[in-house]
Chain A
């Protein structure tokens, strides 16, 4: 009981002022609901392209945790929320709509989740996707040709040769600007769209030998990395592949990963 009394005495100054002056603020419950709803709408409809569903759910977990923390930081807020959803206190019309919506929508959401979990679908099963799968032993130990070792010393003639090969073979999917937006790109979406080489998490993260492996073997027959990327071993010579890789890095404006000694 003592704790309760003390809590009441500890009410923050602003609340007292607001109560004294009769200013009606938005109940915290409404703000909490607002944050949750807005976060979802923001991720799914405002940001373009929208967040993928699984990522949205993942972030919603953080949002819910944040709201829960926010509420429970203060005894007063917990009481307010309880009171708000217990329907014992009269609230103005708009807040009434909010609380009725919550008690109707939350069970519906749960029901819809149960429904979609049990519904038979014809989509391929979702799988964890690993962009940087483990390469075979030869990739780890391979020697890079002298002219391709140091990105600071790449000669422009090789890069120029690489450009021609790139434009002949890679542009349809990976695009003229190495941004993964070639004319055919939109047709390839599952399980991976053509790589945007300018993105920080792609070739800039990888040693050049790893990229060589991806070009040489492609992803169609690979057991770990399934993608629409064909293997180029039969179409291109080894030198061609090194040159096209050099050009790709140059065009994307990044360098292969190197290691501090």
Chain B
């Protein structure tokens, strides 16, 4: 019990700091206060985003750990059990750091932006309280989950898994509670004409509440997978023994697998989010996607390209350690160029820099035809198909395809051909129909793709059922550059999250709560893109540093165990 109290002490002291901030804010006279040198906005920005990244991490790790733990339990795989435990070890300290950042963030926002925070504290008092209760429960379960890991083994393993499920359920509820505030700021609902919240239910279930939940939930799992892979890559590169190399190689692969398998759903979650923004306020959609903030999407396309291509590159190089993998190596350059081209399409701007020499002005036919949304959706779909094909190659490489099953292979080819054909037809049509029809078509295309991919995997299962393997995967026999790819992927992932965090906040322009509570501070205007990216990079570095601290602290723990 005393251990529990000790672990909760940090949480409680952070809550205390937050509450002191809140009480102090209600006694403040002015609407805004500034922070010396680095400015009030930057302080809150850095604290909020770093906290969000940590929050994503502590939501991601339990999901990731649970998946691996269940996998290990079902397949009786000792290695998975070890990996799950290795990661669960990170939880207690990560929770404390998140709590510290959260406490500081609340404290700073209430003292620097009292006008906004007082507005939110009114109608959302109940949700603030709910949040405090939920994080206390969550942190208790984390404590139990970690301390009972060794006790609940063997027959009792299922109980431990249930604890993991409970942790994830509460964790998701915590995230959803925090999403109420963020989504309300972006698309407030349940408001009277004079800006008073009249229906708390509508305010909670506003336009972007569910899209934000879904998007964040998927992204968090992916994030966890990639961070695990990057950590494994770091350990791989610094391993001295073959045995360690093999373990961390396998760990990197598992992390990447979880990361990519969830990441391919993210573009669709993003479309859904975008669609809801457009239906909430068409103008916000245009500002976000085509106007002042459109450059964010170009940067995003580039970082996502790094994530997608980086992971595929890792998997391609991984063929070297699978006996029989060399059969597929000759196709890889085509796949690689295919992905590069699809991402070049995605990243093509609608308009770029206007200089005399360029005479851009949005009139160049390349800008006009490739820079709009229609080809980008096709490009993303084809990029996802590229990832799927990479996975198929990885599954197939080390196996002999049993005789008489060629049929399933041809069925897969037909499905892949169909996906390409449908996307090209939709692309052609997209240029000739209304935007509203085009957006609907993209949803149906996604549904078609999801079903087709499902069938491709179904046939793959039939094709490889009981297939004889060509030899054991030689874990650890991996080119060093593949590990650097994993690290770059994780860093790009963090950067992308910080970028889009900024994007979502910037979409409100000069409003604290869009259309309801105006930002009248001197920081109401958007920073330039250049300045924003500098701060985003600083946040990325800060997060990496803190994560390094977590890994360092838990690494010393390891020796004691």
* Co-assembled chains A and B: yes
> Is B279 touching A260 in the complex (CB atoms < 8 A)?
yes
Of B294, B434, B479, which is within 8 A of A75 by CB?
Answer: B479
- Knowing A134-B283, A135-B283 are in contact, say whether A259-B278 is a contact too (CB < 8 A): yes
* Contact digits for B316-359, partner A, Cβ 8 Å, 1 yes 0 no: 11001000001001101100110011011001111111111111
A selection of 26 A-B contacts at a CB cut-off of 8 Å is A53-B358, A55-B352, A58-B347, A59-B344, A62-B343, A63-B340, A69-B309, A72-B313, A73-B317, A73-B336, A128-B529, A131-B291, A131-B351, A132-B287, A135-B283, A191-B354, A191-B361, A192-B362, A193-B359, A195-B362, A200-B369, A200-B372, A201-B350, A257-B434, A260-B436, A260-B440
A10 to B481, CA, bound (A): 19
> Is A55 touching B369 in the complex (CB atoms < 8 A)?
no
For chain B residues 235-278, which have a beta carbon within 8 Å of chain A? Answer: 275, 278
* Contact digits for A100-139, partner B, Cβ 8 Å, 1 yes 0 no: 0000000000000000000000011111111111110001
Give chain A residues whose Cβ lies under 8 Å from the Cβ of B372: 200-201, 205
A5 to B374, CA, bound (A): 48
A127 to B528, CA, bound (A): 12
A12 to B279, CA, bound (A): 54
> Is A55 touching B364 in the complex (CB atoms < 8 A)?
yes
For chain A residues 1-30, which have a beta carbon within 8 Å of chain B? Answer: 3, 6-7, 10, 12, 14
Interface of B is mostly: helix
Interface residue? A251 (CB, 8 A)? no
> Is B366 touching A51 in the complex (CB atoms < 8 A)?
yes
A195 to B279, CA, bound (A): 27
Interface residue? A162 (CB, 8 A)? no
Q: Which single residue of chain A is at the shortest CB-CB distance from B325?
A: A10
Q: How far is the CB of B390 from chain A (nearest CB, A)?
A: 12
Interface of A is mostly: loop
A131 to B360, CA, bound (A): 11
> Is B291 touching A12 in the complex (CB atoms < 8 A)?
no
Give chain B residues whose Cβ lies under 8 Å from the Cβ of A54: 352-353, 355, 358, 360
Give chain B residues whose Cβ lies under 8 Å from the Cβ of A131: 290-291, 350-351, 362
Q: Which single residue of chain B is at the shortest CB-CB distance from A224?
A: B292
Interface residue? A66 (CB, 8 A)? yes
Of A58, A66, A130, A193, which is within 8 A of B337 by CB?
Answer: A66
Interface residue? A160 (CB, 8 A)? no
Residues of A within 8 A of B (CB-CB), count:
66
A124 to B326, CA, bound (A): 55
Give chain A residues whose Cβ lies under 8 Å from the Cβ of B320: 7, 10
Q: Which single residue of chain A is at the shortest CB-CB distance from B319?
A: A73
Interface residue? A214 (CB, 8 A)? no
Interface residue? A49 (CB, 8 A)? yes
A204 to B373, CA, bound (A): 12
* Contact digits for A70-87, partner B, Cβ 8 Å, 1 yes 0 no: 101111000000000000
> Is B282 touching A259 in the complex (CB atoms < 8 A)?
yes
> Is A123 touching B355 in the complex (CB atoms < 8 A)?
yes
Give chain B residues whose Cβ lies under 8 Å from the Cβ of A94: none
> Is B337 touching A201 in the complex (CB atoms < 8 A)?
no
> Is B292 touching A69 in the complex (CB atoms < 8 A)?
no
Interface residue? A164 (CB, 8 A)? no
Interface residue? A199 (CB, 8 A)? yes
Give chain A residues whose Cβ lies under 8 Å from the Cβ of B351: 129-131
Interface residue? B371 (CB, 8 A)? yes
> Is A124 touching B316 in the complex (CB atoms < 8 A)?
no
